[in-house]
Amino acid sequence: MSDTAQSEQSGASTTVFVLNGPNLNLLGLREPQIYGYETLDDIAGMLEDRARELGLDVDLRQSNHEGHLIDWLHEAQADGIKAVLLNAGAYTHTSVAIHDAIKSIKVPVIEVHLSNPHTREAFRHKSFVGMAAKGSVAGFGANSYIIALEAAARL
């Protein structure tokens, strides 16, 4: 039986939240040599296409406000969402509150980064998100989201 058929029979959600933090609304414009030329809308289209192939739905959101990301993590738990893909942007390296929100829910969270933080400035090497997440995908540009979505489909 396929994963999708099992999910449908068990009543499990097939929705994956894709949460994006500060400055990701500027993708395609902001430092494209680091983050690429794809916009968040381009990434949303790629994710929607791949999600459909995987029998999933994606709910893509972006906020420059830490509290919104935390509220959405709590919402994922309350709504029984299958998984969360989280690109917390700079909050990755600073937010104990997001770390604690991830730890407080049972929904698996997959950390996503367009660039590889470990090849960048030293302050980007510590990830509060990664310390709480089920796994991390980084360094593959927009494809990091697709790789993470494929991992989420198998959870």
pLDDT the model gives residue 115: 84
Which residues face 8 on adjacent strands?
none
pLDDT the model gives residue 6: 40
pLDDT the model gives residue 87: 97
Confidence of residue 116 (pLDDT cuts 50, 70, 90): confident
39: Cβ contacts below 8 Å, ≥ 6 apart: 27, 28
Instruction: Please state, in angstroms and rounded to a whole number, the distance separating the CA atoms of residues 9 and 19.
Output: 27
Residues 30-52: tens digit of each pLDDT: 877 777 788 999 999 999 999 99
**3-80+95-107 domain in CATH 3.40.50.300?**
no
Q: Give domain limits for the chain.
A: 3-80+95-107
Task: Count the alpha carbons within 13 Å of 12 in the hemisphere toward its beta carbon.
Answer: 16
Of 35, 91, 99, 145, the catalytic one is 35
Give yes or no for residue 3 having a pLDDT over 60: no
Sheet with strand 109-113: strands edge to edge: 57-62, 15-20, 83-87, 109-113, 135-138
Of 91, 99, 113, 145, the catalytic one is 113
What's the mean per-residue pLDDT of the chain?
Answer: 90
Active site residue 91: no
